[in-house]
Amino acid sequence: RPFDLSQSNYKSTCQRFVEKFNELKEEGKIEEEKLFEETGKALLASGIILQRRRTDKVS
């Protein structure tokens, strides 16, 4: 989805992920290894669905 630069308060899903990741990291309650997954869970709980793009496997 394209960015709407005319709205100064618009945040992309990626930006929301980064902000939530940093928030959880600063709290210090979640182990470093689990931060990525727990960030996804926290966003899902707030109604933001993340989609992984399919990548071709390299052999």
For residue range 9-48, list pLDDT tens digits in order.
888 899 999 999 999 999 999 999 999 999 999 999 999 9
41 occurs within a structural domain: yes
pLDDT of residue 42: 96
55 occurs within a structural domain: no
4 occurs within a structural domain: no
**What's the angle, vertex CA 23, arms to CA 51 and CA 10, rounded to 5?**
60
33 occurs within a structural domain: yes
Average pLDDT of the residues in 41-59: 82
26 occurs within a structural domain: yes
- Contact, 21 vs 14, CB < 8 A? no
Tokens of 48: 């933001």
Number of domains comprising the chain: 1
For helices 35-45 and 13-27, what crossing angle results, to 10°? 120
Residue carrying structure tokens 């709407």: 4
Tokens of 1: 């989805």
32 occurs within a structural domain: yes
8 occurs within a structural domain: no
Domain range spanning residue 40?
13-45
Q: What is the pTM of this model?
A: 0.72
